[in-house]
Every structure is written in C-alpha cells, then in structure tokens.
Amino acid sequence: KQWYQRRVRVNERVSPYLQESQQEVVDCLLEQCQSVEENFSRASPFAVGVHQLEIQRIRYMATDYLRTRLHKIEKHAEYALEEQKDQDGGEDAVLKLSPAEFIYAREFHRNFQNHLKDTALKHMPNPFNELKKSESVTAPNLNSFVFFKVKEDINDVLVDPREIPKDLTQGEIHISKFLPIATLLDQGKIHLV
C-alpha cells in the first residue's frame, strides 16, 4: 500500500494538472492508521514507537498528496469546475474532483470572484464592470514537459506530432510534453518521475 501511495503522490506532484482523485486510497490509508493506533495499548512500548513512526510517514504522504491537489485546484479553480460540469452529462465519467474538493473549488471560486469584484471591478466604468468568463479562466499548461518512466512495452506512441511514432520499451526514462502522454498515464502504462 505504501508504494502505491508513493506512486500516486509523485504522479500528482509532477503532472501539470489534476489527476483522477484517488480519494479512496487516502481514506483507506487513514482508516488503517486509526486501527493501528487503537491497538497501541496492547502492544509493547517498543513496537508502539516503531508503529508511530510509520504512521507519521504515511500521514505525511497522504496530507502532502492532498496539499498538492488543493494547490492545483486553487490555481485552476474555474477550469476544473467547467470540466466537471461538462462531464456530469456523460456516463460513468472519470471524476477529477472528489465531492469535498468540488465543494471547496466552488466556494473558493465564488469567494475569489466576489473579492475581485468588490475590490476593483465595482469602481470601474460600465463596459469593464463584469468578469468575462472566457478571459478569466486560468487553464493549466497541459503542454509542459514531464519526465516519464515506462512500465510496459508500448508500440507506436505518437510522442511528437511531427515525428514518426516510436516504440517505448520497459524501464526507460523519457522527457516529453505532457499532452501526448496523458492517455498512457491514465491507462497506467507509464508513470511520472
């Protein structure tokens, strides 16, 4: 479970945009932490110390993961909300925001806009009075460069639209733009480094 969490956390850290919300993993880990803590009274003091260390480490990883997600939500609040809305119409969509994060994003966005309106826009003449949606959305740069490590052999990956498709063999590390690789990442065939 620890290695999986580490992988999830590194993926989230390095990618320019929110990955799928792995909220279940986080919840499961925290539950296990709690159950271990409840067993403390029965175990010897030495074991308690060791378990305590391990729990602190796991807790740090989970909170760090949540922190990076929150940071990304705050940076691209409007974009995330739009994407969620577009997907809700479809079937079985992959949700990037967990329910709590969705509420947080909405409130943050609302507060931010109110803040901008109250401090600046209210005092401006009429044509400039509103926050136009198309201009205020801070879309994440999905074309930024990332380092990848290949987990399985894949054939014919179109890494660069101007070049021919390449083969990726297992265990190599590549540098590339994020967008062409995003689907492979979702399928779990590569992971970010």
Partner 1 sequence: MGGGAWPFLVDVPLWLAINLRQRQKCRIITPEWLDVDKLKDKKAEEIESNLFTKPLHPHYMEISNIILGNSRDIQNADEVRTLVKDIWDIRAAKLRKSVNKMINHDAGDGQLLAHVEISNITVLEINTMRKFFTASLDHLHNLRNHAEICLRDLDKQS
Q: Contact residues for partner 1 (CB under 8 A)?
A: 50, 53-54, 57, 141, 143-147, 159-160, 162-163, 166, 171-177, 193
Closer by beta carbon to partner 1, 11 or else 21: 11
At closest approach, how far in Å is the CB of 145 from partner 1? 4
Closer by beta carbon to partner 1, 114 or else 144: 144
Closer by beta carbon to partner 1, 151 or else 174: 174
What distance in Å separates the CA atoms of residue 147 and residue 131, rounded to the nearest whole number? 37
Question: Which residues fall within 8 angstroms of residue 55, CB to CB, at 6 or more apart?
Answer: 33, 36, 37
At closest approach, how far in Å is the CB of 41 from partner 1? 22
Q: Are 191 and 148 in contact (CB under 8 A)?
A: yes
At closest approach, how far in Å is the CB of 159 from partner 1? 4
Closer by beta carbon to partner 1, 79 or else 101: 79
Q: Are 64 and 8 in contact (CB under 8 A)?
A: no
At closest approach, how far in Å is the CB of 23 from partner 1? 26
What distance in Å separates the CA atoms of residue 51 and residue 187, rounded to the nearest whole number? 34
